[in-house]
Structure 1
Amino acid sequence: MNKKNHYILFIIAIIFLAFNLRPAITSIGPIIGIIRDDLELSNWTVGFITSLPLLAFAVMSPIAPRIANRTGNERALLYGLLLLLLGIIVRSIPFIPLLFIGTTLIGIGIAMVNVILPSLIKGSFPTKIGLMTGLYTTSMSIFAAIGSGVSFPITEKLQFNWELSLLSWGLIAIVGIIIWMFAMKTKGEDKDIQLHEPSAKKMLRSSIAWQVTAFMGLQSFLFYVTISWLPEILIADGYDATTAGWFVAYMQFISLPATFLTPIVAGRLKDQRVVVYVFGTCAIFGYAGLLYHPTFLLTVLSITLIGFALGASISLALALLGLRTKNARQAGELSGMAQSFGYLLASIGPILIGFLFDISGLWFSSIIALIVVTVIMIAFGVGASRDKYALD
């Protein structure tokens, strides 16, 4: 295979990696009520199911760069996909402890891919960080939306039980594994393996690194809370479960232009603060629009604004991992730190919002909490978007 064809295959393989980064998680939200009722769980407990992958992200993220340093980025990414597939299979076995174990394995597998991809892109496409980040985050968002949109119809309309519905996402993982293995084979062995530990202490002393980390965590907090509980908020407003699921899918599809274009724009700017102000304002108005049982048109407008904000924020957060570092190794270090502490913060989200609803019986206080988190996210995003390198 010539160099051009391998280059194209490598990009396709990255896209299929990205396809696997969200649907195993986003498919939970639309059927979370079915799981809750079937297993007789409380709202905060089923929120914990959504939080488990985030806790796994937090634990695994600082370990993933060390694995990649010893095995190479490509092989470490393969290990992540294999763990993801194993988790999907284990989660589908109708035994409550395996639901939690499988979900944890899913989180570990996704965490490895989450952390290593920015380093791979920084090293393989150093002059196209914005474009490649936009490409893979858009691919990730497409299948995140599909996961939300088809999860309930697969479970109810096709008369699958929820276990089989969740198992179906293993097919995407199998395809991703096959394509990635073929891309690795044509590329040959990774010659850039670094046999040393990342110097995490330097990142821990960097204010820019902590601002990127907080921004990553808070935007993830908003994303996972919205994916988990927006269907239930809409059902409380009078929509049926299918419509609520498609609203969540619409939110993610409408986010795609912002997901793709934000890192490209950010890559051309030395300072990305104006980008943060724009999507932060959209998020505030979007969540505020859900406060008082809105009309259909206001619901569409609110979800459109939320989708734009979530799409822009995740792709900017991932782009900053490359933009705030000077080389692939630093990008890997910052990625591990940001996704470890960031997702630990994000893991609180679904549990906290579920708990607020449990004690109040209304979604009002939960939505107010989301608006407050959005304001804090804007503050850290502005700090992270300054024209500085993390290790300067």
Structure 2
Amino acid sequence: MVLVGLNLRPALSSLAPLLPRIEREGELSVLMLSSLTTLPVVCLGLFAPLALWLAKRLGMERSIALGLTILSVGLILRGVATAPALFAGTLLAGAAIAIVGTLLPALVMRELAGSADLVTGVYTMALCLGGALGAGLSIPLADLMESWPASLMSWAGLSLAALLAWWLAMPQSAPDRKLRVAKGNTLSMLRQPLAWQVMVMMGSQSSLAYIVFGWLPTLLVARGYSEGEAGWLMSVSILTQLVSAIGAPWLARMHRDQRPMLMLVVGLVAAGLWVLLIGPSALRWPGSLLLGLGQGGLFSLALTLIVLRSGSPAIAGELSVLAQGGGYLMAALGPLLVGLLLHADASIARITYALFAILSVTATMALLAGRKLRLELDGDEGLVTVNQRF
């Protein structure tokens, strides 16, 4: 599971440091680059519901193996130095990440429900590490191979290694191991305010995450930093997420209420964004650390809430589809918004204020979703929201 998680972010973070170089070489316009940064996030939303359909027919283990196969094909396609191949590869990579990422919370709930918060933190830490590697190594790989397409394609090696390891080690899924979803849960889920609160929180914090993945190096270059330093600032930020990704859920679970920890990590994100984008440049490295601590904890807690607010693996699967499917469709608007603001020559300060507006939505939803509530099945196989007992 950790090795699989390691592959769910390089496809996203490895492209961002290369965007200024791709633009200079005339491969894509700014608007096309905006679409390219938005496309994988849209795919995460559109293809998340496919995960449960596949899991019911193939089992979760084989569905994850299929997702890793699609991811490898998409990464190889991105190494073909044409705009159609770059878009096609990005689409496949986004679809694959949607399938695998949606199934992981349900798999945790099924296999390790008693330590779901810790396990979620561990594989979220792997996600962050993969994102840090993608951001930090993209420019060095492109320089070493003297080709940005080769740099993008090289990440297929990591996904193929994960596919081989997963296929050799995974249990052979029997019919009773397949994910079973109670009839009518999807419509019942849509009638639960708690489910919407988890979804909007996931969507708004993911929007900020994909803005960082897609545009932070470009914004830092516009502020006057070099491409290499911008890439490493982003990489350090993502690498720092390892600490809070595993620590925040564990600390939050020690208390009866997750809201204080959620507010703490939201504050760290706000401080990091301010320092990096409009604060003193001398504090850029501490700002990178603050942003990483905040975003790592916020993402890990958002995933943990999917498990903590679910009374069964089936509910966790449905809530994961809603939170990640609907949430990522919302999140896709963030990178697009920043791309449009850049195209309109908006100042860095104006873009920063837009990011703070998104973060305020995250804070509001975190206060609601962090309450001691849980979704359970009633006697008629419908969903109800109940007070959670600790």
Same-fold status (TM-score > 0.5)? yes
Question: Does the 8 Å CA contact 1:198/1:333 hold for their aligned counterparts?
Answer: no
Question: Does the 8 Å CA contact 1:44/1:350 hold for their aligned counterparts?
Answer: no
Amino acid at match of 2:52: P
Out of 77, 86, 89, the residue aligned to residue 102 of structure 1 is: 89
Residue 176 of structure 2 aligns with which residue? 191
Shift of 1:389: 1.1
Residue 204 of structure 2 aligns with which residue? 218
Shift of 1:330: 0.5
Shift of 1:40: 4.5
Question: Does the 8 Å CA contact 2:202/2:302 hold for their aligned counterparts?
Answer: yes
Amino acid at match of 2:104: L
1:371-390 deviations in Å (ceiling 9; x for gaps) = 11111110011111111113
1:145 counterpart = 2:132: yes
SS in 1 for 2:264: helix
Question: Does the 8 Å CA contact 2:180/2:314 hold for their aligned counterparts?
Answer: no
Quote the Cα distance in structure 2 between the aligned partners of 1:143 and 1:389.
31
Q: Which range moved further: 206-215 or 252-261?
A: 252-261
Quote the Cα distance in structure 1 between the aligned partners of 2:346 and 2:179.
53
Out of 76, 84, 87, the residue aligned to residue 74 of structure 2 is: 87
Quote the Cα distance in structure 2 between the aligned partners of 1:96 and 1:58.
23
Q: Aligned Cα RMSD in Å?
A: 1.6
1:277 counterpart = 2:263: yes
Out of 295, 299, 309, the residue aligned to residue 310 of structure 1 is: 295
1:235 counterpart = 2:221: yes
Residue 365 of structure 2 aligns with which residue? 380
SS in 2 for 1:63: helix
SS in 2 for 1:289: helix
Shift of 1:155: 0.8
Q: Which runs of 4+ in 1 moved over 4 A?
A: 194-198
Q: Which range moved further: 64-73 or 241-250?
A: 64-73
Out of 334, 337, 342, the residue aligned to residue 349 of structure 1 is: 334
Change (3 A) 1:360 1:188: closer
Question: Does the 8 Å CA contact 2:40/2:95 hold for their aligned counterparts?
Answer: yes
Q: Percent identity?
A: 33
1:164 counterpart = 2:150: yes
SS in 2 for 1:325: coil
Residue 381 of structure 2 aligns with which residue? none
1:102-138 deviations in Å (ceiling 9; x for gaps) = 1000011111110000000000001010110011000
Question: Does the 8 Å CA contact 2:58/2:173 hold for their aligned counterparts?
Answer: no
Question: Does the 8 Å CA contact 1:57/1:110 hold for their aligned counterparts?
Answer: yes
Question: Does the 8 Å CA contact 2:59/2:173 hold for their aligned counterparts?
Answer: no
TM-score, normalised with respect to structure 1:
0.92
TM-score, normalised with respect to structure 2:
0.92
Shift of 1:284: 1.7
Residue 106 of structure 2 aligns with which residue? 119
Q: Which runs of 5+ in 1 are unaligned?
A: 1-13
Q: Which runs of 5+ in 2 are unaligned?
A: 376-383, 386-390
Quote the Cα distance in structure 2 between the aligned partners of 1:311 and 1:129.
17
Change (3 A) 1:159 1:71: closer
1:262 counterpart = 2:248: yes
Quote the Cα distance in structure 2 between the aligned partners of 1:170 and 1:321.
30
